[in-house]
């Protein structure tokens, strides 16, 4: 009897090993196929096993410059392999449109799975029917009517931001505006998207917001070391994994707290009844929101807040830094806002005012072109895809977009290194390829929060610019093209966006 059991166990083990060998053999075969099909593309020399990993063997501060150098060297289509992952960079607008609108490339890149343990299975990482179900549930909570009601909150938080900056103006010292932009963005997101009025210094809220940049640090660290994409392998990293666990805990605890408190408020009828609710309220009371489980809702809260926090902080920072360096642009924005607000520069902005901020909007658009806040994103190719350029992107590869190259294509943006808001005048935009400017991605998987972001930036600009004047210190860059950049999930100013502020 014992012998029979042993034989059965050995047979089961043999079958398991055989299955693993078959899967490994198929994976190797697919990898060879991808490498063979991308071999003719431009790109740096590849080495066995590691591919082009040596090209990115640099500090995180240098990654942005390395990627931009590769795109500048190899052009609008090239390949880059890091260990077992092959990236096919696609940067011609026709090819980008084909990729972004194809059902063969609707899945987010496998590298985004690294964010899942931290951010949860939200829109940023979901695919297929699950993504469509979540998108349908969330979209009504960011309706135009909701954004209209957010303007007073944006204005209030912008006024608090202006007050903080005005206090620093009294000192006359240079400071990095990035963390202050982040605080403004984060408190605004908490009050709008999550409809929570927790105090700014609430310990759990502070831990949550502090954890966001750390989470993205871990993401980038692992993406550029694909052997660490496995959670189990990363757990062996003794110097980083303990902090990684703390970050996860901070993100999860705050999310659970917010949802719990919102549910209690709803049960006590403490939330005003209205036709449309903001994100969290909508998800808890609507039929669309009911399609998501409590666990799915918690993960969407983390996803939305984390991505909005990072991108809004850096976009606002770049806008202020641009105005500080380009005093002529700042003067024109201020004149437009003075004309709109009249003598009462401190009055709260109204939603109707936004339509008149045409020059300010063009400045924001040009800022997002010049500084691509989310510079890189990718899609997994599930079936071979023939592009208009004639190249076939093989299944199993990652179709990747490097926006700093796309947004400086002289075919669509003459003198691309020149900062010119008038590029976005209607006459100058006519005929431009719709996929030549995609700061919020494009196609079915475009950014769900793009209207929120533009409304936030316009409102905060209208609140701070009429009251304050920004400038860079003497040792700061005198030209926008000289601003040093670094990259996490988003792009920021390397060394900090140091400015001085003066009251008007």
CA distance 343 to 313: 30
Let me know: does 251 contact 276? Beta carbons within 8 Å: no
Is 58 annotated to bind a ligand? Reply is: no
Residues 6+ apart with CB under 8 A from 266: 281, 284, 285
Q: Quickly tell me which residue has 């343990």 as its tokens.
A: 117
Per the listing, tokens 């987010």 go with 108
CA 106 – CA 100 distance, rounded (Å): 7
Query: What distance lies between CA 433 and its chain's CA centroid?
Result: 23
Which residue in 408, 407, 419 sits closest to 330, CA to CA?
A: 419
In angstroms, how far is CA 101 from the centroid of its own chain?
20
CB 46 within 8 A of CB 83: no
User: For residues 492 and 501, what is the distance between their CA atoms, to the nearest angstrom?
Assistant: 20
CA 10 – CA 288 distance, rounded (Å): 51
Compute CA distances 151 → 96, 141, 271, 352, 471, whole Å. Answer: 34, 15, 19, 10, 27
SS3 (DSSP) at 468: strand
CB count in 10 Å sphere of residue 77: 20
Compute the chain's Rg from CA coordinates.
24
**Cα–Cα nearest to 222, from 242, 205, 209, 240:** 240
Distances (CA, A) of 34 to 29, 79, 219, 223: 9, 11, 25, 19
Beta strands in 259-346 (DSSP E): none
> How many C-alpha atoms does 280 have within 13 Å on its Cβ side?
28
Cα–Cα distance for residue pair 323/333, rounded to 1 Å: 9
- By residue count, the chain amounts to 504
Our measurement of the distance from residue 354's CA atom to the centroid of its chain's CA atoms, rounded to an integer in Å, reads 24
What does the DSSP assignment read for 190-241? HHHTS-----TT-HHHHHHHHHHHHHHHHHHHHHTSGGG-SHHHHTT-TTTH
Contact 228, 221 (CB under 8 A): yes
Buried b (16+ CB within 10 A) or exposed e, 284-319: beeebbeebeeebbbbbbbbbbbbbbbbbbbbbbbb
Binding annotation? 447
Binding annotation for heme? 447
């Amino acid at each position: 009897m014992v012998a029979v059991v042993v034989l059965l166990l050995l047979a089961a083990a043999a079958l398991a090993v055989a299955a693993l060998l078959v899967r490994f053999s198929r994976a190797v075969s697919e990898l060879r196929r991808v490498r063979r099909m991308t071999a003719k593309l431009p790109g740096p020399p590849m080495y066995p096993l590691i591919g082009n990993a040596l090209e990115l063997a640099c500090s995180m501060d240098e990654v942005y410059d390395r990627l931009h150098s590769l795109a500048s060297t190899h052009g609008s289509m090239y390949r880059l392999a890091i260990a077992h992952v092959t990236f096919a960079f696609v940067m011609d607008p026709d090819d980008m449109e084909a990729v972004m609108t194809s059902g063969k490339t609707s899945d987010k890149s496998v590298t985004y799975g690294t964010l899942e343990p931290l951010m949860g299975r939200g829109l940023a990482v979901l695919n297929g029917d699950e993504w469509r179900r979540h998108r349908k549930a969330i979209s009504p909570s960011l309706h135009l009517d909701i954004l209209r009601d957010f303007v007073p909150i944006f204005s209030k938080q912008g006024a608090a931001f202006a007050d903080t900056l005005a206090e620093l103006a009294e000192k006359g010292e240079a400071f990095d505006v990035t963390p202050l932009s982040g605080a403004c963005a984060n408190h605004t997101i908490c009050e709008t998207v999550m409809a929570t009025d927790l105090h700014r210094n609430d310990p759990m809220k502070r831990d949550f917001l502090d954890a966001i940049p750390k989470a993205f640090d871990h993401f980038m660290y692992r993406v550029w070391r694909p052997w660490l994409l496995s959670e189990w392998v990363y757990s062996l990293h003794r110097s980083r994994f303990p902090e990684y666990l703390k970050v996860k805990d901070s993100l999860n605890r705050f999310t659970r707290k917010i949802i719990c408190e919102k549910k209690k408020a709803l049960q006590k009828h403490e939330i005003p009844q209205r036709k449309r609710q903001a994100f969290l309220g909508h998800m808890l009371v609507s039929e669309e929101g009911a399609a998501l489980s409590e666990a799915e809702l918690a993960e969407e809260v983390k996803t939305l807040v984390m991505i909005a926090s990072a991108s809004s902080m850096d976009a606002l920072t770049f806008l202020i830094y641009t105005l500080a360096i380009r005093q002529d642009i700042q003067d024109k924005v201020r004149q437009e806002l003075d004309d709109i607000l009249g003598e009462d520069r401190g009055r709260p902005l109204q939603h109707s005012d936004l339509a008149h901020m045409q020059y300010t909007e063009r400045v924001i658009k040009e800022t997002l072109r010049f500084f691509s806040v989310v510079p890189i994103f990718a899609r997994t190719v599930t079936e071979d895809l023939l592009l208009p350029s004639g190249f076939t992107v093989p299944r199993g590869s990652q179709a990747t977009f490097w926006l700093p190259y796309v947004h400086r294509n002289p075919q669509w943006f003459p003198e691309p290194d020149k900062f010119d808001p008038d590029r976005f005048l209607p006459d100058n935009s006519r005929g431009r390829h719709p996929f030549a400017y995609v700061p919020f991605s494009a196609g079915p998987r475009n950014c769900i929060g793009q209207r929120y972001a533009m409304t936030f930036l316009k409102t905060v600009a209208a609140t701070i610019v009429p009251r304050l004047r920004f400038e860079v210190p003497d040792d700061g860059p005198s030209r926008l093209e000289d601003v040093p950049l670094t990259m996490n999930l988003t792009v920021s100013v390397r060394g900090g966006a140091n400015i001085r502020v003066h009251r008007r």
